[in-house]
Structure 1
Amino acid sequence: MIEQLYEEILLRKKEPKTGSYTNYLFDQGLDKILKKVGEEATEVVIAAKNDQAELVAETSDLIYHMLVLLAEKEIPLKAIEQELKSREGQLSKTEERKPIDRL
């Protein structure tokens, strides 16, 4: 599903459609896309404190806006997939991480 959505976003970038929200974002440029990603990330955090339905909706919004950002920056989904795969099976050294109250 995410791949299909990403392909649709790429298509909108290549072949704009009048009235498309995706094209609105591309037309407004990187700063607008980044603002939306930031807003949606904050809404995910707030939703996580509320209820599951809201969290699902806000996470969906965040994923969509992240895909628009990737398309804007011409980063293929394959690059994200490869990065995640490179991390597979690696142990994270939690003792090297800052405590949550010091981030």
Structure 2
Amino acid sequence: MDTLKRLEQVIAERRNASPDESYVARLNAEGIEKIAQKLGEEAIEAVIASLSGSREEVVTESADLLFHLMVLLQARRIKLDEVLAELDRRDGVSGLEEKASRSE
């Protein structure tokens, strides 16, 4: 968890850097639509790697996916702790029950 907390801090620091010097700043300068698009691309790459890639490719693509999710959360001003609290809330609840509760 420390790694994700550190990543959250680094993304926050780089968000307002020069887009010429920071990938995070460049993504933010291009807007939430670009960040969401990039997250989607990384998700697809993770799926493809899980189906036909090596273990190493799955690990690499998973890291890219987590990174871009963290960039999106930061852009939306959502703290990692909020996502973790939601996961804690779901702890011990069947995935089927949780999903059904959202459609009620």
TM-score, L = length of structure 1: 0.85
Q: Write the distance in 1 (CA, Å) between the matches of 2:70 and 2:95.
A: 27
In structure 2, the gaps of 5 or more residues are none
In the comparison of the two structures, how many residue pairs are matched?
Answer: 95
Deviates more, 1:15-24 or 1:2-11: 15-24
The answer on 1:75 being equivalent to 2:67 is no
Alignment partner, residue 16 of structure 1: 17
Q: What SS does the corresponding residue of 1:22 show, helix, strand or coil?
A: helix
- Would you identify which runs of 4 or more consecutive aligned residues in structure 1 move more than 6 Å? none
Q: Which has the higher contact order (CA 8 A, sep 6+)?
A: 1
TM-score w.r.t. structure 2 length?
0.84
Q: Distance in 1 between matches of 2:79 and 2:36?
A: 18
- Structure 1: 5+ residue runs without aligned partners? 98-103
Q: Which residue of 2 aligns with 1:3?
A: 5
**Equivalent runs, 1:1-103 vs 2, <5 Å:** 1-13=3-15, 15-17=16-18, 18-49=20-51, 50-93=53-96
Cα displacement (A) at 1:16: 1.0
Cα shift at 1:93: 3.2
Over the aligned positions, Cα root-mean-square deviation in angstroms equals 1.7
